[in-house]
Amino acid sequence: MSDPIASITAFEALDSRGRPTVGCTVVTRAGARGRAIVPSGASTGSHEARELRDGGERYGGYGVRRAVANVEGELFDAVRGIDVTDQGAVDRALRQADGTPDGGRLGANAILAISVAAAEAAATTRGLPLYAAVGDGPRTLPMPMINVISGGAHAARSLDVQDFLVVPVGASTFAEAIETVSRVRAATGEVLRDGGATWALVADEGGYGPLLSSNRAALEVLMTACERARLLPGDDIAIAIDVAATQFHSPAEDAYLWDAEDRRFRSDELVDELVAWAADFPIVSIEDALAEDDWDGWRMATERLGGIQLLGDDLFVTSPDRLRRGIAEGVANAVLVKPNQIGTLSEAREVVGIAHAAGYATVLSARSGETEDHWLADLAIGWNTGQLKIGSTMRSERTAKWNRVLEIERELGGEIALARPAFAGGS
């Protein structure tokens, strides 16, 4: 079924932090429409695809009028007449038109907007929901990894570690998983309030942004909250951590600096800290334990924390080449997949395929600057990533994705099950 791209319109939208981002609509010759608004990250790795921003005074330099113009101009010219159902051809044309490794000439934000909108239009052309249109293999509902306490770049660095998340490993359905974490989040607010900590501050991704005495204190708060919610740590819930170590790594000093605790670490000392946490708390996943180019540190962490999901975000930046290097060197055992880190859906899906073939787990992830779109939820199901990391259970740009998975679970009924990652009893 061929349906060529006939027109593209774009606009400057706002993300969840009030910063501009790119929205666009793709329309085919047969009248199928696909619309997308793309996200943007705050904790970004240096190897990520590069957004195009305007600079100047508008929006503090974050305007995207040039990227919007490129969507309607050079990038549209590149994909005009291409069959919208051929995602690979659309994405190759976009990358070739830009001509740079990082998408920076025309803007990775502009490129991804067309890539996603084309996928939405293709699903309409084929008369399928997006999750069915983007994947033809096995499907599961993703195990959610849900933000409850934030620090780092997501919460004005109130804590050095970026995110403390809850994983509902004991849930048997996605609906139960969301309800379980909602109980933990509510109990966490009570624990923070009763302890005299700030509990009304909300971080970028909807988690609490408290001022605590230490990073370890965040883990202790979560344990107390689980007890208050009458949940068993390790059986009903587990903990995931996004260390985001690149954000506090000093290459000049070859050290990791925790300003909130006035501590500094060598790579091996930071690993020691994480090993101690893993011994004392039900931690099943650690993201970006070391900095993006600390490959020696990552090898050490993989050797010492091999029983835990070690998730590469800044390390791999959804790059097929960096992931292949990690696999070859035995570094980490899971990859965070963010389509806007690489620029197109085809390249992001390639990373999922490479990871699965090598036995690496995959976690599809939103960004701190999100939008009301819910296409990420469909990708998690269609690509069978097994895990989904969106943010917390509040703020509409977060709940839009969780609600989409809940909707799909209701529609498919017993035809689809909740994924069971290795740490939740899966294979």
- pLDDT 10s per residue in the chain (427 long)? 799 999 999 999 999 999 999 999 999 999 999 999 999 876 566 788 899 999 999 999 999 999 999 999 999 999 999 999 999 999 999 999 999 999 999 999 999 999 999 999 999 999 999 999 999 889 999 999 999 999 866 556 678 999 999 999 999 999 999 999 999 999 999 999 998 877 667 778 889 989 898 999 999 999 999 999 999 999 999 999 999 999 999 999 999 999 989 999 999 999 999 999 999 999 999 999 999 999 999 999 999 998 999 999 999 999 999 999 999 999 999 999 999 999 999 999 999 999 999 999 999 999 989 999 999 999 999 999 999 999 999 999 999 999 999 999 999 988 999 999 999 888 7
Three-state secondary structure call for residue 325: helix
Number of other CB atoms surrounding residue 413 within 10 Å = 7
269 belongs to the catalytic site: no
pLDDT at 383: 98
Q: Are 161 and 263 in contact (CB under 8 A)?
A: no
Q: Which residues, at least 6 apart from 134, have a Cβ–Cβ distance to it below 8 Å?
A: 87, 119, 123, 345, 349, 378, 379, 382, 383
The 3-state DSSP class for residue 164 equals strand
Tell me, what's the pLDDT at 238? 98
Task: Encode burial over 51-69: b for 16+ CB neighbours within 10 A, e otherwise.
Answer: bbbbeeeebeebbbbebbb
Active-site residue, selected from the candidate residues 120, 205, 292, 409: 205
| Cα separations in angstroms, 74 against 28, 71, 135, 153 | 18, 7, 29, 34
> Which pair of structure tokens corresponds to residue 320?
């097929």
Residues 41 and 81 in one domain: yes
- Indicate the Cα dihedral angle 252, 258, 259, 264, nearest 10°: -60
Are 179 and 322 within one domain? Answer: yes
Looking at the domain assignment, is residue 369 inside a domain? yes
Strands 263-265 and 255-258, sheet pairing: antiparallel
Whether 194 maps to a domain, the answer reads yes
pLDDT of residue 260: 87
Amino acid identity for residue 231 in this structure: L
389 in catalytic set: no
Sequence-ordered strand ranges (E) for 274-319: 283-287, 309-312
135 part of a folded domain? no
- Domain final residue pick, 69, 100, 127: 127
What is the domain-level CATH number for residue 81? 3.30.390.10
Domain extent at residue 118 = 5-127
Question: What is the rounded distance in angstroms from the CA atom of residue 380 to the CA atom of residue 374?
Answer: 11
Q: Are residues 400 and 260 in the same domain?
A: yes
- CATH number of the CATH domain containing 402: 3.20.20.120
Amino acid present at 96: Q
Specify the pLDDT at position 280.
97
222 and 119 share one domain: no
CB atoms < 10 A from the CB of 103, how many?
25
Task: Please answer whether residues 243 and 286 qualify as being in contact, where contact means their C-beta atoms are separated by less than 8 angstroms.
Answer: yes
Q: Are residues 113 and 164 in the same domain?
A: no
Exactly one of 338, 347, 389, 409 is catalytic; name it. Answer: 338
